[in-house]
Structure 1
Amino acid sequence: MHPKRLFIKDFLYKLPEERIAKYPLPQRDESKLLVYKDQSITEDTYYNLEKYIPGNSLLIFNNTKVVEARLLFQKSTGSIIEIFCLEPADIYADITTAMLQKGKVLWKCLIGGAKKWKDEPVIKIIKNDLKEFKFTAKKIEKFTDYFLIAFSWDDDSLSFAEVLHAAGSVPLPPYLNRTAEETDKERYQTIYAKYNGSVAAPTAGLHFTERLFQKLDQKNIQRDFVTLHVGAGTFKPVKAAIMEEHEMHTEFIDVRAALIENILQHIDKTVIAVGTTSLRTIESLYWLGVKTILNPTIYLESLQVYQWDAYDVDAENISAKDALQALLQWMKQHNLSSLITKTQIIIAPGYALKIAKALITNFHQPQSTLLLLVAAIIGDDWRRVYNYALENNFRFLSYGDGCLLYPVAV
């Protein structure tokens, strides 16, 4: 069945409020780990992850960095305007370029208290490393799903990423129902986060520590990195009755040619995605490669993955190896050492993994596209896995525990 015809009500389960982890554990790698393999369930902790992964495997992590995207401005009347930065305006080539802008930048944002904000700019004075600078936000235009905001600041030595770090706060997921605290600046960030751009953490990676990496190294379990900047759309609820009526969010990905070469070297071994964002990225690579095979002269601007490509593009006879080699060849022809593009891929029941052999992920919200992704991997057993987790005191969502899922053999 085509995923367009899936009913979202079939992916409902009861998640009690008390099972949502409001805070992380003191030690990252002491989070519980549910292992689903060969249709059986066992449990352990992340610290012992290497026991459940074959030697010579390749783990793919998302090294995006969460930015302090939540901004509060106080009007002269005393009322508070909350601005949530979503993504840069379309004039920028990618998020990194926009984050490095100095003096001014255009950004797509959500606004809390929008009715209280007319046309006048809002201003706040920010103290940063014993200096002060004036930070201004001006509303430019209203669109269906966002406002276009012009930010400016009177210290041209600062990039927008640095301004956000000084002026903003960590945008915790709405289901935590609490304000960000000082400890969230560190804990809502992976230890390997590198490139500014996400408004939500790739939470499967929050469990990894240097001591865990050392244990993985001892078993020759390698790791490599992609960059997918997580947008607020990751929390976008599915309000449509059937998936055909739901528009999947689009996110920026940045992938090095060296990463694709590394995957090719492990394509006949075990490639494991750490997190749904890593999975969406490496599976998107397959479809990008397919597009270069079907259309060798495709332009960079057209080389992206749309929502239903994985089900509507005819790639029956194209292997993962062929697709990745074709993508590398296309990048070489265009003198690209890395590929920056967008993906809107939706992984749902009916999808067969092309590159990944397993997934490490947290437990997700009911009726979410992330739960559809889990169901694509382990089929109807997602209910058995989630019921086990609920009955055995696993903690759910961003700061919760997680699982290692091997696909059901077909």
Structure 2
Amino acid sequence: MRVDLFDFDLPPELIALRPARPRDAARMLVVAGDAPFEDRSVRDLPGLLRAGDVLVFNDTRVIPAQLEGMRGEARIGATLHKRIDLRRWQAFVRNAKRLREGDQIVFGADVTAVAEARFPDGSWTLAFAGDEPVEVLLERAGQMPLPPYIAGKRPTDEQDRSDYQTMFAARDGAVAAPTAALHFTPELIARLDEAGIGRETLTLHVGAGTFLPVKAEDTEDHAMHAEWGRIDGATADRLNAARAAGGRVIAVGTTSLRLIESAADETGTIRPFEGDTSIFITPGYRFRGIDGLMTNFHLPRSTLFMLVSALVGRERMQAAYAHAIGRGYRFYSYGDSSLLLP
């Protein structure tokens, strides 16, 4: 499909630079079948779902993967994207034309790395020096990797260390937050429990590739970056049992959705999964493992806007976004939410 079919105009003032406070005070647009759009709040979620439904959260934890350093006199920026092994990461590099294989980058705070090799997409393998775990080095020298539409408007600060982390964050490895879950609070979870709505967690370490623009003119020519994920057997069994009993599996975020769909077979049975996924969902895709999605508002021409268009229909999604823009919803990572129930 043509990528320009997924374009829309967004007033820049609707890009959220800070999250709602409290988190569950964010607005939520409900898109349910052919029913009229509903302007609700995230706090309304318990009444919008049914007892027996299951929300699926991503428990990945964002690491401070944004680094600023020097290669000699040249300033180098690096955003870690995907772990290769204990000491090596694939990274997107700013000012990469100044970098050569074997160059050492000094990031400060006794953190250095060697640029080992360049990937065809322009990213680099960075090998970190020393014996300390890379996560320890990043805590010392790194910053939270805010998406460019936020970082380009204001500097990262200490508040982002907590703001850009969900309450479910448990497993280090993401370089972007599973932002749909940023809206949840202990109080909201307690109300969901009271309503008989279940919850499960899986792990997908979100990569920086989620922010890359689609440069191809046709979706067939776009290559997705792989991300590592895991669903254990017990979790898969409980999700399958919930659906068999008439409950709906509602993915909280496109990251949870993509991993569930990667794990589901042709019959819709969710299987245990561990490994890389580069699933790319566009209109025409047949969803197998999920029955709904809670997600924030995405960038025009992005793979994530293509995904939500696949779930409820491109024209329906364009109309929903036009509705949200007209009513001043806040967009992107720190913005408001939507509940999509096809």
TM class by shorter chain equals over 0.9
CA contact (8 A) 1:226 1:255 kept: yes
Aligned-partner Cα distance in 2 for 1:136–1:203: 30
Q: TM-score, normalised by structure 1?
A: 0.78
Aligned-partner Cα distance in 2 for 1:276–1:124: 32
Following superposition, the deviation at residue 76 of structure 1 comes to 5.3
Match of residue 260 from structure 2: 282
2:251 to 273, 277, 288: 273
Q: What whole-Å deviation, never above 9, does each CA across 1:260-287 have from its counterpart, x for those lacking one? A: 011111113111000001011111111x
1:114 lines up with 2:110 in the alignment: no
**Cα 1:121–1:66, aligned 2, differ >3 Å: closer, same or farther?**
same
The amino acid across from 1:285 in the alignment is A
Following superposition, the deviation at residue 249 of structure 1 comes to 2.0
2:106 to 120, 123, 127: 123
1:358 lines up with 2:292 in the alignment: yes
Q: What whole-Å deviation, never above 9, does each CA across 1:199-249 have from its counterpart, x for those lacking one? A: 110110000000000000001111110101111111121111111111122
Aligned-partner Cα distance in 2 for 1:68–1:28: 21
Match of residue 193 from structure 1: 169
Equivalences for 1:305-316 in 2 at 5 Å? none
Following superposition, the deviation at residue 75 of structure 1 comes to 4.9
Following superposition, the deviation at residue 114 of structure 1 comes to 3.0
Q: What whole-Å deviation, never above 9, does each CA across 1:8-44 have from its counterpart, x for those lacking one? A: 1111110111111111122110000111113221111
Q: TM-score, normalised by structure 2?
A: 0.93
Following superposition, the deviation at residue 341 of structure 1 comes to 0.9
CA contact (8 A) 2:178 2:206 kept: yes
CA contact (8 A) 2:231 2:274 kept: yes
Aligned-partner Cα distance in 1 for 2:71–2:337: 42
1:404 lines up with 2:339 in the alignment: yes
2:29 to 28, 34, 47: 34
Match of residue 21 from structure 1: 16
**Cα 1:136–1:38, aligned 2, differ >3 Å: closer, same or farther?**
closer
Aligned-partner Cα distance in 2 for 1:371–1:164: 31
Match of residue 51 from structure 2: 55
Q: What SS is found at the alignment partner of 1:247? A: coil
The amino acid across from 2:96 in the alignment is A
Q: What SS is found at the alignment partner of 1:320? A: coil
Aligned-partner Cα distance in 1 for 2:242–2:40: 26
Aligned-partner Cα distance in 1 for 2:93–2:5: 33
Match of residue 224 from structure 2: 248
Match of residue 134 from structure 2: 160
Q: What whole-Å deviation, never above 9, does each CA across 1:314-337 have from its counterpart, x for those lacking one? A: xxxx4224xx3xx46xxxxxxxxx
CA contact (8 A) 1:86 1:231 kept: yes
Q: What SS is found at the alignment partner of 1:33? A: strand
Match of residue 73 from structure 1: 69
Q: What SS is found at the alignment partner of 1:85? A: strand
Aligned-partner Cα distance in 2 for 1:148–1:355: 34
CA contact (8 A) 2:105 2:115 kept: no
Following superposition, the deviation at residue 401 of structure 1 comes to 0.2
Aligned-partner Cα distance in 2 for 1:114–1:376: 35
Match of residue 281 from structure 2: 347
CA contact (8 A) 1:172 1:179 kept: no
The amino acid across from 2:169 in the alignment is A
Following superposition, the deviation at residue 172 of structure 1 comes to 0.6
Following superposition, the deviation at residue 74 of structure 1 comes to 3.5
1:378 to 312, 318, 321: 312
Aligned-partner Cα distance in 2 for 1:26–1:202: 18
CA contact (8 A) 1:25 1:31 kept: yes
> Identity over aligned residues, as a percent?
37
Q: What SS is found at the alignment partner of 2:129? A: strand
Aligned-partner Cα distance in 1 for 2:267–2:89: 39
Aligned-partner Cα distance in 2 for 1:142–1:198: 21
Aligned-partner Cα distance in 1 for 2:111–2:96: 19
List structure 1 segments (4+ residues) > 6 angstroms apart after TM superposition: none
Aligned-partner Cα distance in 2 for 1:366–1:44: 23
CA contact (8 A) 1:199 1:232 kept: yes
Alignment RMSD: 1.6
Q: What SS is found at the alignment partner of 2:56? A: strand
Following superposition, the deviation at residue 122 of structure 1 comes to 3.2
Aligned residue-pair number: 334
CA contact (8 A) 2:33 2:312 kept: no
Following superposition, the deviation at residue 124 of structure 1 comes to 4.9
Q: What whole-Å deviation, never above 9, does each CA across 1:131-152 have from its counterpart, x for those lacking one? A: xxx3221122223221122111
Structure 2 residue ranges without an equivalent (≥5): none
2:329 to 384, 394, 397: 394
Aligned-partner Cα distance in 2 for 1:116–1:354: 46
Following superposition, the deviation at residue 174 of structure 1 comes to 0.8
Q: What SS is found at the alignment partner of 2:276? A: strand
